[in-house]
Structure 1
């Protein structure tokens, strides 16, 4: 007969499996967000884009209908948070009389693309306040529906490196939200580095981290990241020259969902430990 502790253990394992299945289901639904109708469908190729503040972003929205390649009667409305018009296109022309003031001159759609079923929205010079939920609604005799795109905004840049007297310094300017900086050696072990932060008048962060001592011809990895973006740099010192290779990676899940998953697992594990 199973002991009380074994019963609790197997019950917790079952709960973890169930919660994991729910989380996976939520993620699948989030990243395949579509609305289907009997004659067509409205979909987005990226329902959770991340864009760099002050750059342009294209919010994807497309109508796919059976056996139709032109949509001369298509009407499109983009709204933010379901109550502010970002851009409206109807009767073959833009209709911007009720456009929210913060999007005037910054939102654009291409009439040539629209008649081909492409209702994507170009948003110029993105601001941090642009983050939020956008809904693309399409009406057409060949298909209709809507899709939601959640825009996330961040500030990020590739760090610059300097090498002097056996010290390697990384400076990552123009970051938001506030980042962390981690160093690793060739084997993947984490290394300690001195860290300082400064903030600009616009609220953007600059992180400076110094690693020492540093050996020439060794490969070091510096990762600057927040909950949305990670900038990974592979750095090697040759003589007095700093060679670096950089790439960015982006979060696919919202910070809220990631936090929820982490809190859920932590709670379950803590219950198990107490038991």
Structure 2
């Protein structure tokens, strides 16, 4: 049984390690490729996994008049600032937010959706980008 100074020292190291770990927001370094009309997932993950359920989460696409593709605040999507061309076409995996998964599902991809997307955790000042390439569907 451990007791005394050695136990205290070991406990302090473990506490410091668990609190000293810095998280990183990551996405795919490879472009995501989809065909027009498909649904696609734009990956974005906090590593190591930390809950982001109560965070303000933003997906943006720079270069648009209204750059916000998806805004998730106070546990729900906020549609007020969303770019019109993305209405009813975006969703987060709400049940995965507790695992740091901030990936965006984009429904019914259009050719005009091609471009760079940025996932942002506002309060942590963290962001990651992913490139979407959209090809023409043969059908």
Structure 1: runs of 5+ lacking an equivalent: 1-37, 157-173, 175-203, 205-275
Shift of 1:88: 0.6
> In 1, distance between residues paired with 2:102 and 2:30?
14
> In 2, distance between residues paired with 1:45 and 1:149?
6
Match of 1:183 in 2: none
Match of 1:71 in 2: 52
Confirm whether residue 152 of structure 1 aligns to residue 133 of structure 2: yes
Match of 1:107 in 2: 90
Write out aligned runs for 1:221-240 (5 A). Answer: none
Match of 1:62 in 2: 45
Shift of 1:144: 4.6
Q: TM-score, normalized by length of structure 1?
A: 0.39
Q: TM-score, normalized by length of structure 2?
A: 0.74
Match of 1:125 in 2: 108
> In 2, distance between residues paired with 1:130 and 1:104?
13
Q: 1:144 to 1:115 in 2, by over 3 A?
A: farther
Structure with max Cα Rg: 1
* Aligned-CA RMSD value: 2.1
Match of 1:21 in 2: none
Q: 1:94 to 1:47 in 2, by over 3 A?
A: farther
Q: 1:72 to 1:107 in 2, by over 3 A?
A: closer
Shift of 1:139: 3.4
> In 2, distance between residues paired with 1:85 and 1:71?
19
Confirm whether residue 89 of structure 1 aligns to residue 77 of structure 2: no
Matched residue pairs, number? Answer: 117
Q: Look up the SS of the partner of 1:115 in the other structure.
A: helix
